[in-house]
Copies of this chain bind each other. A is one copy, B any other.
Amino acid sequence: MNEVNKKFLKDSHLIIELKLCTVRLLDNFRFPWIILIPKRKNITDIFQLKKIDRNLLMQEIVYSSKIMKKTFPTFNLNVEKIGNVISQLHIHVISRSKKDSAWPLPVWGVKKKTYTKSILNENIVKLQKAFKV
Establish whether residues A80 and B77, one from each chain, have CB atoms under 8 Å apart when the complex forms: no
Instruction: Please provide the chain A residues from 96 to 113 with a CB less than 8 Å away from any CB of chain B in the complex.
Output: 96, 103-106, 108-109
A82 to chain B, nearest CB (A): 5
Would you call A77 and B108 a contact (CB within 8 A)? no
Task: Give this chain's copy count.
Answer: 2
Complex Cα distance, B57 from A57, in Å, reads 12
Residue among B79, B82, B87, B105 making CB contact with A81, cutoff 8 Å: B79
A76 CB-CB contact with B under 8 Å: yes
Q: Which of B47, B82, B103 contacts A106 (CB 8 A)?
A: B82
Residues of A in contact with B (beta carbons under 8 Å apart): 44-47, 54-55, 57-59, 61-62, 65-66, 76-85, 87, 96, 103-106, 108-109
